[in-house]
Amino acid sequence: MTLAYRDIRHNLGRFLLTCVGLGLLLGVVLAMIGIYRGLVVDALTIARAPAVDLWVVEANTRGPFAEASRIPGDIREAVARIAGVTSAGSITFQTVEAEHRGAKLRLYVIGYELTRPGGPPEIFEGREIARSHYEMVADQSTGLILGDRIRLGRHVFTVVGLTQHQVNSGGDPAVYITLPDAQKLQFDLSPPAARVEVARGTSGSSRDTVNAVVARLHANASPEAVAETVRRWKHLSAITQEAQELILTRSLVDRARRQIGLFTSLLLVVSAVIIALIIYTMTMEKLKQIATLKLIGAPDRTIIGMIVQQALALGFIGFAIGTTLIVNIKDYFPRRVVLEPDNVLILGLIVFAVCLVSSALGVRAALRVDPATALGG
């Protein structure tokens, strides 16, 4: 350890600069891992927010998040009467662009029935919606504050409550309004021809349509058994909460997982190559000193230990710099970055293994040097 420490101290400035460069590279790797975990968390947040056990959707669809689903709103009453169901509520989802204080906001509007499942999970400031019209609960990431008024469609809504971390898989912050207001908003934003058909009753649909009906079950009820009951109904299907989360993670974020995974793998390969080249270069620059050590009888294990220790020190300091950097700046990313301890630990173990393997080049060069080199000038 003394030899490795002395050699690092002799070239301390260059060694630290190298550690910083490696740390930035490893920080990018951690950021990619955190962004993917953030995508998964965001995708599941909206699905978990209602705290339900069952999703009733249009037949042959995979739910309101993966595919379009439109069912009659009165299905809720039929679902509520199924054995094992404690409560049911209709909900709608739509993405709307609005303007607030001169800036464009892209909002994920969720319509729900008051006192029924489907509303915001927890309000950390303000209150829940109390009136049947034109009140809103918004996620704090929208930038809205209590008392703000914002126009959606033809009506102005007042923010009465704020939630946290309610963001869909696309990064759009959620806002909650009552179901009648959400249905009116969908109608107002529909193409003119579609609105005329609905108003005349010639389109085969009505304004009382929702994207899904959610249900909570008794503790001893089987979600799959209740879902099977719904599937026997015409034009309807049912998805358990567990299946809904599986669909979300596989369909919405699977492509991102493959892309980010490939990019992360490439960065790890680049990191390994860089560490190997650095260790090899450091070893080649001190071949004469290594030859001198051999000449005075230093065993090979001493030389190997020096090189491996330098490689591990490089990896450890670089990893510490990268981790510290990302932990301190992750909240400034436009998308949520989630760093879980097991992900950081696994990356640390990978860096440790890469340092050991990468030091093989330097060890090989050191062991092949001729002690006579120390005398040959």
Please report the pLDDT score of residue 18 as a whole number. 84
The Cα 201–Cα 180 span in angstroms is 18
Measured CA to CA, the distance from residue 228 to residue 213 in angstroms comes to: 15
Rank 55-69, 279-293, 320-334, 358-372 by mean pLDDT and report only the highest: 320-334
48 compared with 8, residue with greater pLDDT: 48
DSSP annotation of 116 reads S
Q: Where is average pLDDT lowest: 26-30, 72-76, 357-361? A: 357-361
DSSP characters over 206-244: -S-EESEEEEEE-TTS-HHHHHHHHHTSTTEEEEEHHHH
| φ/ψ (deg, to 5) at 338 | -110, 115
Residue-wise pLDDT tens digits, 303-318: 788 788 888 888 899 9
pLDDT for 315 equals 87
CA terminus-to-terminus distance, the chain: 27
Q: How far is it, in rounded angstroms, from Cα 137 to Cα 159? A: 6
The DSSP bridge pattern shows strands 135-139 and 212-217 to be unpaired
| Strand duo 212-217 + 85-100: pairing | antiparallel
Instruction: Write down the pLDDT at residue 203.
Output: 47
Which band of pLDDT confidence, cut at 50, 70 and 90, is reported for residue 189? Answer: low
Lowest mean pLDDT among 11-15, 79-83, 233-237: 11-15
* Most confidently modeled range among 96-100, 129-133, 134-138: 134-138
Mean pLDDT (the chain) is 83
Candidates 82, 83, 77; CA nearest to 116 is 77
DSSP state of 147: T
Instruction: Give exposure, 357-374, as e/b (b: 16+ Cβ within 10 Å).
Output: ebbbbbbebbeebeeeeb
Alpha carbon distance 133, 118 (integer Å): 17
Q: Is 202 buried (19+), middle (13-18) or exposed (0-12) by CB count in 10 A?
A: exposed
Is residue 192 predicted with pLDDT exceeding 70?
A: no
Which residues, 6+ apart, have CB-to-CB distance to 359 below 8 Å? 276, 279, 307, 308, 310, 311
Instruction: Decide if pLDDT at 148 tops 90.
Output: yes
